Structure 1
Amino acid sequence: MAGMRIGARSARRRIGLVAAAVTALATSVGLMAVAQAEAAPGCRVDYKVAGQWAGGFSANVSVTNLGDRVDGWRLVWTWPSGQQVTQAWNATVTSSGSQATASNVGYNAVIATGASVSFGFNGSWTGANTAPSSFALNGVTCDGGTTTTTTTTTTNPVPGNAMEQVAAMQPGWNLGNSLDATGSDETSWGNPRITEALLDNVKAQGFKSIRIPVTWGQHQGGAPGYTIEAAYLDRVKEVVGWALADGFHVMLNIHHDSWQWISAMPTDHAGVLARYNATWTQLAAAFRDASPKLVFESVNEPQFTGVDAARGDQLLHELNTSFRDIVRRSGGNNAARLLVLPTLHTSGDQARLDALATSITGYRDPNLVATIHNYGYWPFSVNVAGGTRFDATAQKDLTDTFDRAHATFVARGVPVVLGEYGLLGFDRHTGTIQQGEKLKFFEYLGHYARTKNITTMLWDNGQHFGRTSFQWSDPELIAQIKSSWTTRSGTASADQVFSARSSAVTAKTLTLNLNGTSFAGLSQGSTELARGADYTVSGDQLTLTASAMTRLSGSRAYGTNAVLHARFSQGVPWRINLITHDTPVLGNATGTTSSFRIPTGFRGDLLATMEAKYADGTNAGPHNWTSFKEFDRTFAPDYAGSATTLTSDFFAEVNDNARVTLTFHYWSGARVTYFVTRSGSTVTGTTG
């Protein structure tokens, strides 16, 4: 996702997770803290390698006490092949040379007679991964039976600390349209150079992670080395270093290369794979020793030209496999670094999720993360086909997607990052979707992602947080987004209450979406409105009385006469605009297909959508499967200029010399009909 986008559109915790590689001194101190008990006369250990990959493995250990009750325990073994424990859960694991010691954590110190305690860990190996032959519990050899296996019957990867690290990345932010720009410089898509101050200010907004999309192709040499320009790599390392220094978790990827050259893999398999491998080999080496908070993402929104989805899944599996193997083999912190793998097109469709799940299961690597993107139900996301509202259909599209991601991955121990989210209409400007409907979408997305333990990363190509002003372009929107990270907010069926100036003032009712909150009050600025006299609340119905509407509307000038805020027991308030209007008046016009403006007296009303049909009732203009055209792409209101614009995109798909009936729908509920006829490049418009 970017301004120049190509194409359409509770974490399970491992308690007691600790780093295992510590000094011998720290080991001795740790052992002193273990409460010792009488030696158990017997024990049994079951040791199982649950998953193994190049240079790493995951193991589960179960200790059964065959003797007296144990109050405080430590289990000691010797590695036959020089392995090392790198991460652990449900125990504190320390190392000294080839000897490893696992000690209880607070909640599992007691092992009753006949009872068992289990813990797990991730480890590293070189050359061989021979299982330990003997274990000792509190100094007593476990000769009651020790079994070891190096295979697993589980169907899903066994997680290490991946779930916790991804949970710690919530919430996240995208540094879009900068290093991912496909021009010669990070400023080529209109954003200024990235500064430390920008990242400092993003951090101050409460974000815990930052995704840094990078497009490499225009900064690479040719075959066979595909060498990345040293200056460009140094610049990326500089920005990554600033982000890590700020305490961010950082996600670094291959971005628009996906459509620039990777998409050609079906017809240039060897060439694309060689270039992809060369790119990640260089990146893995460059960041080999970077903080574990740096996360690699194999490729952004993978896509392949001229093949069906099944073949695309196969090609992506090949890339993801190569990516994982290259990074793991590079050693250093890359041996256990979190690696993020996308679905084809980063889609949330079940078939695409299943394909990625199959890959992840086969890798047997506990430090893998799945990623998808979500820009909402497409008609709503761009305001086409009448998708003006965040209605039940748009909501179900969102919940179904997150439910599938949770069931396929999170519920099975594989974390999910929503690497990008927003609304596709934002690529033009944030006014494509009506403000209240927009706020309801973001309120619900943040809430539902939280319930499904999905970490979210807001796409921002500069349209949200000012890169030099460090201010939000829409404070109301970001307030709603931030609130959704921790709680729900009450909303309403609308944020606009319309009263026709040509009619008497009457009481007006809105339906409250309480979202688990309770209504707390209604105010105008610092003035609290009187319940009973100014408004009533019955269940989820908020009614503004006629007397309050009369007072608040004042002289009843066209437009917004008063701004109210409904408050709830939690979350952010809901703004309500009281608007006086009359039916808009349109005028006759002439123009061209490249510039056609309909004189419009909006008279306080606001344009929601437009239909276009030919005289025979068939749909006119782009997206002719629907009569409702795309807001801003084909038509747009110009309130300041008292005009409605029809774009060249609209006329490009209108039949010559055919009369088109336009129906303009306004947020007040008013509808106005207008007629246009295109003759070559000339356009005439009439009201009748």
Structure 2
Amino acid sequence: MAGTRGTTRRTRWRLGMFTGALTMLLVSLGMTFAVSAHAAAGCKVDYSTNQWPGGFTANVTVTNLGDPVNGWRLTWAFPSGQQVAQAWNATVTATGANVTATNVGYNAAIGTNGTASFGFNGSWTGANNAPTSFALNGVTCTGSVGPTTPPTTPPTTPPVTTPPPTTPPPAGDAMAYVAAMQPGWNLGNTFDAVGADETAWGNPRVTQAQLDNIRAQGFNSIRIPITWSNHHGPAPTYTIDPAWLNRIKEVVGWALDDGFYVMINLHHDSWQWINTMPTDRTTVLNRYNALWTQISAAFKDHSPKLHFESVNEPQFANSSGDAQNAQLLNELNTSFHRIVRASGGGNATRMLVLPTVYTQTDQARADELLATITQLNDRNLIATVHFYGYWPFSVNVAGGTRFDATTQKDLTDQFDRVYNTFVTRNIPVIVGEYGLLGFDRHTGTIQQGEKLKFFEFLGHYAKQRRLTTQLWDNGQHFNRTTFQWRDPELWAQIKSSWTTRSGTASSDQVYVPRTGTITAKSLTLNLNGTTFQGLRQGTTNLVQGTDYTVSGSQLTLTASALTRLVGNRAYGVNASLQARFSTGVPWRIDIISHDPPVLSNATGTTAAFAIPTQFRGDQLATMEAKYADGSNAGPHNWTSFKEFDVTFAPDYTGNRITLTETFFGEVNDGARVTLTFHFWSGATVTYHVTKSGSSVTGTTS
């Protein structure tokens, strides 16, 4: 994406989903530590991590089981020499192995049974063992709850009080309703655009033909995100612009006429004004209620295939922590439920969609939403979460270049949590947005084959867990003018995953040297429950035993076949094969001639620096950046592997690799930085850059 649309959408991730994505990295180790603290009868600490080579993210939650505390300090010792790089929701310092985390201003007070959470990124070598004990305000764990003392301050968060539903619980089969919605698609960056109208972020005006063509792709539901901030009047009535409301009704009507299940919501309102609720509760609630009162009235007689989502990715700025976030979202969700149910017509039984905080899938957030749904006692409620993958893989940072076991486990853990929390209780779940965060830049941030494996598995596992998925598309997937998919191969894989599995392989690339002897090359087949049927080039079947062999899951292309396929061995893709399986889509395998890439000396500025590069058939996977002493250079200094596109980017047609102003913005002036470029052939090339003020010099030696 580019221009206003790209900047605003990326801002959305930095403000909201970035924190959410980091939290979604956390895989619970099941470790709970009981600790006692001054002026507290007892508490517990949950410490969970998710790691990758050399780095990890940790999340720490302190639950106060006794008297309220106002101001806290948590200390522990790392048993394996880990180091903290950056933290959020706490100030974290370390001396050797000893670490101290202290509250920030907004989460100093922890009431009885209240919690405070913080997180950090860290680095490790050798091992990443969890701390064995913690101390709160200097008092080490006792494992028991002592006598209480008078509170130092009253609890800062009032108890949650919610009026009962105004109508009896409506009858309905929400599970069947949501199952019929699969699969779904998002009309993203359109009515949710923060601007004058639906074209503000670069997408064309919605037409009936667009929706007809999306329906023809096989989608059964459409989510229409809507930002209302710029389309209503002032307090106290917050009257919605009639022209805007009529336009929404027109597009909703087209979608219903096409047979879609349709979702509408309050979208970027979540971070534009709803997030101020901790400090401006009355104003936010009045505005929120006024909007839903008008929306409910406008759509009360529409088809039951229309459903409402209370708010997209709810988030709260300057709250006291998780407990207050849960309380505020509960207030929004229950107020939304009361207003819609009381508005009459079809709204008495209309399906209503309720999110978790940030639409996260971590267990605490899921449990909070479960409590709200249980309290409302309404069969026509649907839970929703969002999923954008394991963060290092999703944006290509910290060496997260492959859909490996860690990335897969992150997906299964998240889907398992919402399945076990909701679906097993007959509460349906919609994954209201899914994709990869790197897609907000362009779909090439993640290597094609690894991307395809991610979406193949996602579709399969969502089906296993009975989750309805709605693809986030802000215009980067389906061309809304030509009605064609921008990446037909990706689309074929996504569509196939709804109904069956496809075989894949360890790579979609086989690299053959441009010069020298050609030898046999092997790939590992991922059968995924299918059976391998053979290899084909175009319409010609390759001959097993002569062109290739199969031993278990090992597919080997013979030297003679590769010699024929590469022909004159011109740099780049010389041939493409299809590995065919008993079900699903074929797996493309490119046969590529290459030599090690060659980089050249260069000069430039921090705002415009590019390394002349002869790629010679190879493709760039990732880049490391280190200072002479071995410490990490550039942004995300908890890892040597920098973020693709954000700090560096290959330009294959321009024969260069660009280093961005973002990268140089966190490079020490005058320090020599060694860059190691990793290519998909397995080749590595080193390069050196030195920043002096705004000038940059790059050398190969």
**Shorter-chain TM-score: which interval?**
0.7 to 0.9
- Is 1:270 aligned with 2:382? no
Q: Give 1:57's aligned residue.
A: 169
Aligned to 2:232: 220
Aligned to 2:568: 555
Amino acid at match of 1:488: R
Partners in 1 of 2:261 and 2:514 — Cα distance?
54
One-letter amino acid matched to 2:168: G
Deviation of the 1:569 alpha carbon:
0.1
Letter in 1 for 2:546: A
Residue 671 of structure 2 is aligned to residue 658 of structure 1: yes
**How far apart are residue 500 of structure 1 and its match?**
1.5
Aligned residue for 2:387?
A: 374
What secondary structure sits across from 2:250 in the alignment?
helix
Distance 2:362 2:279 in 1: 26
Q: How does 1:469-508 map to 2 (within 5 A)?
A: 469-508=482-521
Alignment partner of 1:619 out of 629, 632, 651: 632
Alignment of 1:247-396 (within 5 A): 247-307=259-319, 308-396=321-409
CA distance in 2, matches of 1:652, 1:311: 36
SS of residue matched to 1:250: strand
Deviation per CA, 1:233-284: give whole Å up to 9, x if none: 0001111000000000001000000000000001100000000000100000
SS in 1 for 2:169: strand
SS in 2 for 1:56: coil
- 1:184 equivalent in structure 2: 196
1:456 aligns with 2:469: yes
Inter-partner Cα distance in structure 2 for 1:529 and 1:341: 53
- The CA distance in 1 between the partners of 2:195 and 2:451, in whole Å, is 32
**Corresponding residue of 2:651:** 638
> Displacement, 1:220?
1.1
SS at match of 1:323: helix
Find the counterpart in structure 2 of residue 117 from structure 1: none
The CA deviation string for residues 200-253 of structure 1, in whole angstroms up to 9 with x for no partner, is 000000000000000000111111001110000000111100000000000100
Q: CA deviation at 1:306?
A: 1.4
Matched, 1:670 2:683: yes
Match runs of 1:161-176 below 5 Å: 161-176=173-188
1:418 pairs with 2:431: yes
Aligned residues between the structures? 546
Corresponding residue for 1:649?
Answer: 662
Kept in 2: contact 1:384–1:629 (CA 8 A):
yes
Letter in 2 for 1:176: G
Alignment check: 8 A CA contact 1:56 1:335 kept: no
Q: Does 1:515 align with 2:534?
A: no
Q: Which residue of 1 aligns with 2:55?
A: none
Instruction: Quote the offset at 1:309 in angstroms.
Output: 2.2
Aligned-partner Cα distance in 2 for 1:501–1:309: 57
In structure 1, what is the Cα distance between the partners aligned to 2:235 and 2:636? 42
- Mapped contact 1:288–1:334 kept (Cα < 8 A): yes
Shift of 1:663: 0.4
CA distance in 2, matches of 1:275, 1:627: 46
CA distance in 2, matches of 1:664, 1:653: 19
What letter corresponds to residue 271 of structure 1 in structure 2? T
Task: Verify: 1:608 aligned to 2:621, yes or no.
Answer: yes
- Whether contact under 8 Å (1:447, 1:487) holds in the other structure is yes
Counterparts of residues 32-43 of structure 1 (less than 5 Å):
none
Equivalent in 231, 239, 244 of residue 256 of structure 2: 244
- The SS at the match of 2:385 is strand
4+ runs deviating over 6 angstroms: none
Give the SS at the match of 1:184: coil
Paired letter, 2:466: N
Deviation at 1:361, TM superposition (A): 0.4
Instruction: Give the distance between the partners of 2:212 and 2:682, measured in 1 at CA.
Output: 46
The whole-number CA distance in structure 2 between the counterparts of 1:403 and 1:349 is: 10
Q: Name structure 2 gaps, 5 residues minimum.
A: 22-163
Tell me which residue corresponds to 1:438: 451
- Post-superposition CA distance 1:602-622 (Å, at most 9, x none): 011100000001111111111
Structure-2 separation of matches of 1:489 and 1:304: 41
Superposed displacement of residue 300, structure 1 = 0.3
State the distance in 2 between where 1:197 and 1:655 align: 54
Calculate the aligned-residue CA RMSD, in Å. Answer: 1.0
Q: How much does 1:57 deviate?
A: 2.7
Amino acid paired to 1:333:
G
**Structure 2 residue corresponding to 1:202, chosen from 190, 214, 231:** 214
> SS in structure 2 opposite 1:180?
coil
Q: Partners in 2 of 1:326 and 1:253 — Cα distance?
A: 14
CA contact under 8 A between 1:677 and 1:685: conserved in structure 2? yes
User: Is there any run of 5+ residues in structure 1 with no aligned partner, and where?
Assistant: 10-51, 59-121, 123-159
- Contact 1:447–1:485 (8 Å) recurs in 2: yes
C-alpha distance in 2 between matches for 1:351 and 1:381: 23
TM-score (norm 1): 0.79
Q: CA deviation at 1:509?
A: 0.4
1:407-441 deviation digits (Å, cap 9, x = unpaired): 00001000000000000000010000000000000
Question: CA offset at residue 623 of structure 1?
Answer: 0.6
TM-score normalised according to structure 2 size: 0.77
The whole-number CA distance in structure 1 between the counterparts of 2:452 and 2:168 is 45
* CA displacement at 1:328 relative to structure 2: 0.2
Letter in 1 for 2:605: T
